[in-house]
Amino acid sequence: MALYEENDVYISNSISRKKELFTALNAPNLGLYVCGPTVYSDVHLGNCRTFISFDLVYRYLTHLGYKVRYVRNITDAGHLENDADEGEDKISQRARLEQLEPMEIVQKYTLGFHGVMSRFNAFPPTIEPTATGHIVEQIDMIQKIIDEGFAYEKNGSVYFDVKKYNESNDYGKLSGRKIEELISGTRELDAQSEKESPLDFAIWKKASPSHIMRWNSPWGIGFPGWHLECSVMSTKYLGDEFDIHGGGMDLKFPHHECEIAQNKASNGSEGPRYWMHGNMLTLNGQRMSKSTGNTLLPHELFTGETDKLEKGFAPTIARFFMLQAHYGSQLDFSSDALLAAEKGYHRLMAAYRKLASLEPSAESTSEFKVAEWHKASYAAMNDDFNSPILISQLFEATRTINSWENKAPLSASDFKLLKESMQAFIFDVLGLEDIGAQGSGQKLDDVINILLDLRKQARDDRDFSLSDAIRDKLADAGIEVKDGKDGSTYSISL
């Protein structure tokens, strides 16, 4: 029996505002779509948190035995400076500033995005389509929407008719907004506007003579609206109806709301059955914003080359820090929080390494019940991918492992279950890396073992003051020495 058949996963569905039992449309196959970046600048940590959150979802569903088709798009055209269908395309604007071709900008920042996510040990999606690679499909969807009576053409641009759509559907069902409130909250259209209503949004925009990125269409030379690409690419690769759609909370309105409307207008289905939204990051208690300068880029986090942090942090420690909060909750980046996460990370990894050096006993005599712990760990992830609860379970195991000496008071079967589960949850599900087990970690082991040999020699020579001094200095550095009948061992207890 596959693990997904043994585990009931519950997801907080944004569209129902309820935690619902997840059932795949066509198990073991599963479709997951996540809105990717607009590649006009370096990816920021808020983006990274969203993609790490959905990497966790992808990893866990795969761990359960689902065959996940994970689609995450690259927006390389159509994303204007604001959501009112005004301003310049963000990529075209950056191309002008850097005096490059738009596709050079796209290539530069796509490669940068891939590099950052690789450092965070995030799996690449199984399909990564681009907006410019699906212009034909976007034109086809626009024509379907027009044919169904939910869009109109004006002077070479095509607009989605929100009021018409709302006559037979519910525009605002995802975000919880009522169309009457949306209307009252919009400003009157000026004389230059082509829209019939301020709520209408462009699904094709006529290109001005100065617009760099442009394509031929039945309505003239132009470019697709930003919201359209995700409707096209999600349904092309996952079907008119599919399992899960994810993205940042900031995309819920208008981007995802518009996706639902476009899907329903073109093919009669709303698309995903479950909507998931990751929450935002703050920095030192304030919202991250380029306009205020309260920002932190991944390379600044890794190197510490910023006045926002005391030092740099390894990517896997930053990932561990992010996963200590539920994906749906707000998370604040600060030096103190990262330093605490770093200490916790090292405790966890030291316990995992120690486990590998232990041997089982004839029977289980420990108060730590492995089967119950194992069940509780899965229950955490089954409850809306609750990584902080899973991590607390791992720390419970860590405290127990650190209390053991040379033998684990567990039977061979319990010991095997604990080792395999620790490895699966730490590395396969959470996606952490053991930086202490890499080259620098081996050198640290060698140095500490040299000091332990010197300490043993001091004890043999009855030089207890030197022996105690070595032990105390190691403790000050966060390395705890334990003396046993078979010699001395150590653990990193930062």
- Whether residue 296 sits in one domain with residue 213: no
Tokens 């394509």 belong to 215
Residue 17 has pLDDT above 80, yes or no: yes
Kind and range of the H or E element at 160?
Answer: strand 157-160
Residues 289 and 319 in one domain: yes
- In this structure, the answer to whether residues 320 and 393 fall within a common structural domain is yes
* pLDDT for position 491: 61
What is the tens place of the pLDDT at every residue in 266-300?
A: 999 999 999 999 999 998 888 776 656 778 899 99
Domain boundary among 421, 436, 451: 436
Domain boundary among 278, 293, 322: 278
Residue 345's Cβ-side half-sphere holds a number of Cα atoms within 13 Å equal to: 26
Query: What is the percentage of the chain residues whose pLDDT exceeds 70?
Result: 92
Residue 439's pLDDT band (cuts 50, 70, 90):
very low
In the prediction, which pLDDT does 362 show? Answer: 95
Peptide bond into 198 cis (omega under 30): no
Same domain membership, residue 242 and residue 264: yes
Average pLDDT score over residue span 430-457: 76
Residue 295, burial from CB neighbour count under 10 angstroms (0-12, 13-18, 19+): middle
Q: Which domain holds residue 140?
A: 3-278
Q: Is 251's pLDDT higher than 90? A: yes
β-sheet with 29-34: strand ranges across: 67-72, 29-34, 242-248, 272-278
Cα distance from N-terminal residue to C-terminal residue, the chain:
41
Q: Do 225 and 313 sit in the same domain of this protein?
A: no
CATH number of residue 224's parent domain = 3.40.50.620
Same domain, 269 and 346: no
Same domain, 376 and 414: yes
Domain C-terminal end among 231, 254, 278: 278
pLDDT value of residue 461:
81
Pairing mode, if any, of strands 29-34 and 67-72? parallel
Across 105-119, 131-145, 353-367, 466-480, least confident range: 466-480
The Cα 202–Cα 84 span in angstroms is: 9
| Cα distance between residue 79 and residue 75, in whole Å | 7
Structure tokens at 327: 């994906």
Confidence tier at 438 by pLDDT (50, 70, 90): low
Residues 432 and 442 in one domain: no
**Residue of 341, 334, 343, 214 whose CA lies nearest to 281:** 334
pLDDT of residue 44: 87
- Residue 40 near residue 93 (C-beta atoms within 8 A): yes
Is there a single domain that holds both residue 10 and residue 71? yes
Q: Which of 218-222, 235-239, 379-383, 480-484 has the lowest mean pLDDT?
A: 480-484
Tokens of 456: 């043993």
417 class by beta-carbon count within 10 Å (0-12 exposed, 13-18 middle, 19+ buried): middle
Give the domain CATH number at 381: 1.10.730
CA distance 223 to 206: 7
Token reading at 13: 């569905």
**What single string gives the DSSP state of each residue in 23-75?**
--TBTTEEEEEE---B-SS---HHHHHHHHHHHHHHHHHHHTT-EEEEEE-BB
Q: Tell me, yes or no, whether 320 and 363 share the same domain.
A: yes
Lowest mean pLDDT among 165-169, 185-189, 241-245, 325-329: 185-189
Q: Is the pLDDT of residue 339 over 70?
A: yes
Regarding whether 215 and 333 lie in a shared domain, the answer is no
CB-CB contact of 315 with 119 (8 Å): yes
pLDDT-derived band of residue 450, with 50, 70 and 90 as boundaries? Answer: confident
Instruction: Indicate if the pLDDT at residue 140 is higher than 90.
Output: yes
Closest to 350 measured CA to CA, from 204, 208, 490: 490
- More confident call, 286 vs 27: 27
Q: Could you give the number of structural domains in the chain?
A: 3
For residue range 163-210, list pLDDT tens digits in order.
Answer: 999 999 999 999 999 988 887 666 665 556 789 999 999 999 999 988
Is the Cβ–Cβ distance between 346 and 494 less than 8 Å?
yes
Residue carrying the six token digits 């080792």: 419
What is the rounded average pLDDT of the residues 7-21? 98
From 467, 459, 476, 374, select the one nearest 415 (Cα to Cα): 374
pLDDT of residue 469: 84
**266 and 297 together in one domain:** no
Which spans in 202-297 are helix H?
A: 226-238, 257-267
Average pLDDT, the chain: 91
The answer to whether the bond into 254 is cis (omega within 30° of 0) is yes
pLDDT at 247: 98
Confidence of residue 494 (pLDDT cuts 50, 70, 90): very low
In angstroms, the Cα distances linking 249 to 85, 177, 235, 281 are 21, 15, 21, 11
Mean pLDDT of 456-470: 82
